Chain A
Amino acid sequence: MSPALPFFGAYFPSWLIFATIGILGSVLVRVVLIHFGLDEGIPFRTLVYIALACLIAFTLAATAIGP
């Protein structure tokens, strides 16, 4: 059984929640980088941000639920 979190009386799979947080976190980082003018200099932007979203999601999942 994969870990699940209760919401509104239903059980959501935790990976769904961490994936959402990862994507939102990556978007937030991009907004900050655009503000400082750093976004334009990044090579392979799409891949970098996808990797960042994965990094945030996996780190959070590992810290909150454990390996």
Chain B
Amino acid sequence: MAKTVTTAHPSDPVAAPPSQWRQVLEDLQPFPGRVGMTWRVALLCALVTGAAMLYEIPEAAISCYLVIFLMKPDAVVNIGTGIGFLLLLPGLVAFLVWIVNLTSGSTMHIMAAIVITSCVLLYLGAATQLGEQGSVAALIIAFVLTLIVQAPFGDAATFALREAWAMAALPMILMVGFNLVLGFSPVGLLRDKLRARLDAAADALETGDSQALRDLLREGNALFEPQALAARLLWLVPRAAAQQIAADVRAGFALMLAVSALPAELDPARRGALANQIRAVHAALGKGEAPPPPPTATRGLPADASPAERTAWDALDVLAGAPEPAVVPAPATPFVAPDALSNPAYIHFALKTTAAAVICFLTYTAIDWQGIHTAMITCYVAALGTTGETVHKLALRITGCLIGAAIGVAAIFWVIPHIDGIGALMALVFCGCLVGAWVSTGPERIAYAGVQVALAFLLTVLQGFGPSVSLDTAQGRIVGILLGNLVMYLIFTRIWPMPVAGEARTHFARALSELARMARLAPDRRANAVGSAALVESLAGKSEEVLRLLPFEPRELRPTPAREAALEGAVSEIEALNRAIWLSPDADLEPTAERLERLAERFAEPIAAAGLQHVDGVLEPAPARTGPAPIDDPFIGQLNRLQGAAG
């Protein structure tokens, strides 16, 4: 039975964010599915190692890196990625052949080709939804071209291209086959996610501890809609079941959001009834049965029942198979960013990253130490929009690399001397990758360190086509990563630095204009706009994540503590507004929507420009309307606080 709960409102701060160290420990805790994912990644890496050794394909470590970097829990996504890579690779090789022929072996021309392709691809990655894939493509092309600078002619280049193809194609073929047999089906993943959501909602109702619920809310729904779509399009389940799954994805989110918006003073008995029903659905799903419909006796909600309570029961109805009301879809994210041509930030990013990579390449060529070529790779892989993010990723990279290299060197000293076959080497790779994969399957905050642990370990251990005990690679690798990090740090903090606050403001602007769109819907359709509410939640979560990177920024970039507090306050104001508007029964929220749009524009402006017009519009009353006496804007307090944060 539910205990009495003093407060359960979502916008109440749950607890101060934990310190960086506590956060790392928290991110290393097991969660459902983590063990399964970890052993799959490690086993696939061992298989890739074995195949690469048998067929004598060079650089098995890079092949394994692709697996760790690309493998996601969803088998359908992995198979798609694998097939996509296999289809794209011949095109990439053809493009490289064309470039190499064009440059006719002149070092100056090849350098120019590196600069141009890398600038173009980085710009495309930053300004479109391609994201990091642009960086990865730039990395591959630049890296292969730097190798060709050293051996520009004839057979050497052909051989290098063929080996590069095999290096990337082998792990992709194995990944497709492996996921076909042992991967997680999206249907199973969605069922587990739904159960986790129900569990978190019931927990929040019973104990008032809403931390798990907040985390799940901030994931948003955008990750899961494509999984439901894949289940339908690929006929993984019969059509009716696929429709129910898609409805469950939305109803699960609506239930969480409604539970998090329940008034704190709600009668404990009604709170308990809701929790019991959620537990019943959770148990039924665990046994593979259809969820029971809510008992009609508890449905006699009094007239004063809050909209949140009604919406929660409606969502439980849908979970039990009631028809879903017409869905109001969230707008799709445009593929090309709307400000792709007007915003110089994208070009700055491309130029900064390319400059860092070329400086690293010239440095290790000048001192003639090819062993540290990871310096250039570091620049592409660690490049991120804002200075804070880049420094944070550098920190993860250095830590992960040192841990991985330590494990690898330990293996060289104590394990490899006793190994004489490929099977035993595969077992060693499996054990080492377990460590890296455990970290890399965790939350995004630390996942990157796990990739680095595994990569440094593999590069130290896998040399040639069998067990080997040389320490040169480990040394070169560590120096390379440190050099790359140094150059990146200098460039990303000195040239056109991008403050973290700017990215948070962009997220706020998007969230506010989405809220304005939701406010303009007819009141009975607002509760069906689950996609929009989920988008706002995930944007709030993202901006909080971004703001937590503030300590990584150099001091001269950081906003004043007061501004930081205002920005952090804006996150919870947006979350509270999201619930209030989503559940609002008011017919006309037009004044609120207009005000939200003005705020969104204010947040979208650069910080300096917004600061200049500080006096304009603070505490501005809603525009007077003709007709009946104007209703006071119900959200005036929250909007004013947001206005303060906008500066």
Contact: B180 with A50, CB < 8 Å? yes
Chain A contacts for B369, CB-based, 8 A: none
A46 interfacial by beta-carbon distance below 8 Å: yes
Contact: A46 with B180, CB < 8 Å? yes
Contact: A34 with B235, CB < 8 Å? yes
Contact: A40 with B238, CB < 8 Å? yes
B223 interfacial by beta-carbon distance below 8 Å: no
Q: How far is the CA of A54 from the CA of B180 in the complex (A)?
A: 14
Contact: B181 with A46, CB < 8 Å? yes
Chain A, 22-67, CB within 8 A of any chain B CB: 34, 39-40, 46, 50
Which residue on B lies nearest to A33, using beta carbons? B235
Which residue on A lies nearest to B237, using beta carbons? A40
Contact: A39 with B181, CB < 8 Å? no
In the complex, the number of residue pairs spanning A and B with C-beta atoms less than 8 Å apart equals 8
Q: How far is the CA of A50 from the CA of B180 in the complex (A)?
A: 9
Tell me the smallest distance from the CB of B391 to a CB of chain A, in Å.
Answer: 45
Tell me the smallest distance from the CB of A25 to a CB of chain B, in Å.
Answer: 16
Most chain A beta-carbon neighbours within 10 Å: one of B181, B235, B237: B235
Scoring B residues 167 to 195 as 1 if CB is less than 8 Å from chain A, else 0, what string do you get? 00000000000001100000000000000
Chain B contacts for A46, CB-based, 8 A: 180-181
Chain B, 6-56, CB within 8 A of any chain A CB: none
Tell me the smallest distance from the CB of B203 to a CB of chain A, in Å.
Answer: 35
Chain B contacts for A34, CB-based, 8 A: 235
Q: How far is the CA of A40 from the CA of B240 in the complex (A)?
A: 12
Chain A contacts for B180, CB-based, 8 A: 46, 50
Chain A contacts for B238, CB-based, 8 A: 40
Q: How far is the CA of A36 from the CA of B625 in the complex (A)?
A: 61
Chain B, 221-242, CB within 8 A of any chain A CB: 235, 237-238
Which residue on B lies nearest to A49, using beta carbons? B180
Q: How far is the CA of A34 from the CA of B236 in the complex (A)?
A: 10
Chain A contacts for B181, CB-based, 8 A: 46, 50
Which residue on A lies nearest to B183, using beta carbons? A46
Q: How far is the CA of A50 from the CA of B182 in the complex (A)?
A: 13
Scoring A residues 9 to 24 as 1 if CB is less than 8 Å from chain B, else 0, what string do you get? 0000000000000000
Scoring B residues 135 to 156 as 1 if CB is less than 8 Å from chain A, else 0, what string do you get? 0000000000000000000000
Tell me the smallest distance from the CB of A40 to a CB of chain B, in Å.
Answer: 5
Chain B, 59-99, CB within 8 A of any chain A CB: none
Q: How far is the CA of A5 from the CA of B560 in the complex (A)?
A: 70
Q: How far is the CA of A34 from the CA of B232 in the complex (A)?
A: 12
Chain A contacts for B235, CB-based, 8 A: 34, 39
Chain B contacts for A50, CB-based, 8 A: 180-181
Tell me the smallest distance from the CB of B489 to a CB of chain A, in Å.
Answer: 47
Tell me the smallest distance from the CB of B459 to a CB of chain A, in Å.
Answer: 31
Q: How far is the CA of A40 from the CA of B235 in the complex (A)?
A: 9
Q: How far is the CA of A46 from the CA of B187 in the complex (A)?
A: 15
Q: How far is the CA of A46 from the CA of B177 in the complex (A)?
A: 11
Which residue on A lies nearest to B181, using beta carbons? A46
Tell me the smallest distance from the CB of A52 to a CB of chain B, in Å.
Answer: 13
Which residue on B lies nearest to A45, using beta carbons? B236
Q: How far is the CA of A39 from the CA of B242 in the complex (A)?
A: 15
Q: How far is the CA of A39 from the CA of B236 in the complex (A)?
A: 9
Which residue on A lies nearest to B176, using beta carbons? A23
Tell me the smallest distance from the CB of A7 to a CB of chain B, in Å.
Answer: 13
Tell me the smallest distance from the CB of B93 to a CB of chain A, in Å.
Answer: 13
Chain B contacts for A40, CB-based, 8 A: 237-238
Q: How far is the CA of A50 from the CA of B181 in the complex (A)?
A: 9
Chain B contacts for A39, CB-based, 8 A: 235
Chain B, 219-278, CB within 8 A of any chain A CB: 235, 237-238
Q: How far is the CA of A46 from the CA of B79 in the complex (A)?
A: 14
Q: How far is the CA of A50 from the CA of B237 in the complex (A)?
A: 18
Q: How far is the CA of A40 from the CA of B238 in the complex (A)?
A: 7
Tell me the smallest distance from the CB of A57 to a CB of chain B, in Å.
Answer: 14
Q: How far is the CA of A34 from the CA of B235 in the complex (A)?
A: 8
Tell me the smallest distance from the CB of A49 to a CB of chain B, in Å.
Answer: 9
Tell me the smallest distance from the CB of A37 to a CB of chain B, in Å.
Answer: 9
A-B contact pairs, 8 of them (CB 8 A): A34-B235, A39-B235, A40-B237, A40-B238, A46-B180, A46-B181, A50-B180, A50-B181
Q: Which 5 A-B pairs have the closest CB atoms?
A: A34-B235, A40-B238, A46-B180, A39-B235, A46-B181
Taking Cβ atoms with an 8 Å cutoff, the residues of A that contact B are: 34, 39-40, 46, 50
**6 further contact pairs, Cβ within 8 A, besides A40-B237, A46-B181:** A34-B235, A39-B235, A40-B238, A46-B180, A50-B180, A50-B181
